[in-house]
Amino acid sequence: MAIKHFLQLSDFTLDEFEHVIERAHIIKRRYKNYEKYHPLVDRTLVMVFEKSSTRTRLSFEAGMQQLGGNSIYINTQDSQLGRGEPVEDAAQVMSRMSDIIMVRTFGQEIIERFASHSRVPVINGLTNEHHPCQVLADVFTFIEHRGSIKGKAVAWVGDANNMLYSWLQAAEIFDFHVNVSTPKGYDIDMNLVTPGNTHFTRFEKPADACVGAHLVTTDVWTSMGFEAENDERLKAFDGWCIDSEKMKLAAPNAVFMHCLPAHRGEEVTGDVIDGPQSVVWDEAENRLHVQKALIEYLLLGKVKE
């Protein structure tokens, strides 16, 4: 059987996502009921981190353990990756000693090279271009709170970063629309958008992107790897903060999401992220449940039980 990787959302069909989401609901409910589910006894997840993480590490490590398996954490500094071992060689070796691998790295081409030399499925735990596990968790969270996301409007106010590019792919797959507002000079890189994607509209003014939205979301203005640009970004993004005025323009029952970590007073005000429309803690928790369903699918196929 050909190995299946999850390097960006476009690697899966809607049918596959519907299965994973259905399983995530079941796995979550059973876990909350203390029902043991250990299909992955003796199986090992390797987690490669070339950037920092709290949620991604926690959710993959806890998730693998809850499925009966185990995980190994590797970072650049403490491994031979930091001393120049080629990713192709690392992928060969790691995939001989494990059953599934999660990689958080810089360029998407790095994880693609890694995956092409891996004998086991590779999951993207964030690259500069994509964050598919997070957006999958976000879609799941929306469905939990508001039902189907099909036909809904998502407002993206902020940087054109990995989260946005994954949202744009999700919009095509799940058939919803993204209203995007990024400051001048931080526009969408169309090379990272599927040609012919009609599921987004660009707005010059951030407030206009929020009008009527069912989900308002943003992310840090400076992503990992871009720290040197922080000061100029702080100036360029002035006005792109999600505040209560912008939330008032959204649909009355709109939810607010942020993948976290957040900077209160920069991309979002404290009253919004800590307010009644925010679902950020459910969103963070759901990384655990959807990734357990994702690992199950990549290793065991369409489990029905």
Helix axes 14-32, 162-174, angle to 10 degrees: 110
Q: What contacts 169, CB < 8 A, 6 or more positions away? A: 8, 9, 10, 130, 132, 135, 194
Q: How far is the CB of 138 from ligand CP (least distance, A)?
A: 10
Instruction: Pick the binder of ligand NVA from 102, 103, 180, 220 (CB under 6 A).
Output: 220
Going by the DSSP 8-state scheme, the letter that residue 143 receives in this structure is: H
Which entry of ligand NVA, ligand CP, none binds 217, CB below 5 to 8 A by partner kind?
A: none
Handedness of CA 212, 213, 219, 222 (dihedral sign): negative
- Judged by beta carbon, residue 178 or residue 259, the one nearer ligand CP is 259
Q: Which does 54 bind (CB under 5 to 8 A by kind): ligand CP, ligand NVA, none?
A: ligand CP
> Rule CB under 6 A: is residue 8 a binding residue for ligand NVA?
no
> Nearest to residue 118, comparing CAs of 133, 106, 100?
100
Site for ligand NVA in 259-288 (CB under 6 A): 259
Residue 59 found at the interface with ligand NVA (CB under 6 A): no
User: Which positions are annotated as active-site residues?
Assistant: 104, 131, 134, 219, 259, 287
Contacts of 156 by beta carbon, 8 Å cutoff, 6+ apart: 163, 164, 167, 178, 179, 180, 181, 209, 217, 218
Among 24, 74, 163, 284, binds ligand NVA (CB under 6 A): 163
Closer CB to ligand NVA, residue 155 or residue 220? 220
Residue 103 tokens, joined = 């990689």
**Residue with Cβ nearer ligand CP (24 or 126):** 126
Question: Which residues make Cβ contacts (< 8 Å) with residue 247, sequence separation at least 6?
Answer: 210, 216, 254, 256, 272, 275, 277
Residue among 181 and 223 whose Cβ is closer to ligand NVA: 223
Q: Is 219 near ligand NVA (CB under 6 A)?
A: yes
Binding of ligand CP by 259 (CB under 6 A): yes
The torsion angles phi and psi of 260, rounded to 5 degrees, stand at: 70, 150
| Residue number, nearest CB to ligand CP | 56
- Orientation angle between helical segments 280-300 and 55-66, nearest 10 degrees: 50
Taking the complex as a whole, the smallest distance from the CB of residue 5 to ligand CP amounts, in Å, to 19
The CA distance from 88 to 92, in Å, is 6
To ligand CP, the closest distance from the beta carbon of 289 in angstroms equals 15
Identify the sign of the CA torsion 298, 300, 302, 303.
negative
Footprint of ligand CP on 260-279 (CB under 6 A): 260
- Contact between 111 and ligand NVA per CB under 6 A: no
Cβ nearer to ligand NVA, comparing 161 with 278: 161
- For residues 299 and 68, is the Cβ–Cβ distance under 8 A? no
18-57 footprint of ligand CP as x/- string (CB under 6 A) = -----------------------------------xxxx-
Tell me which residues touch ligand NVA (CB under 6 A).
126, 161-163, 219-220, 223-224, 259
Tell me which residues touch ligand CP (CB under 6 A).
53-56, 126, 134, 259-260
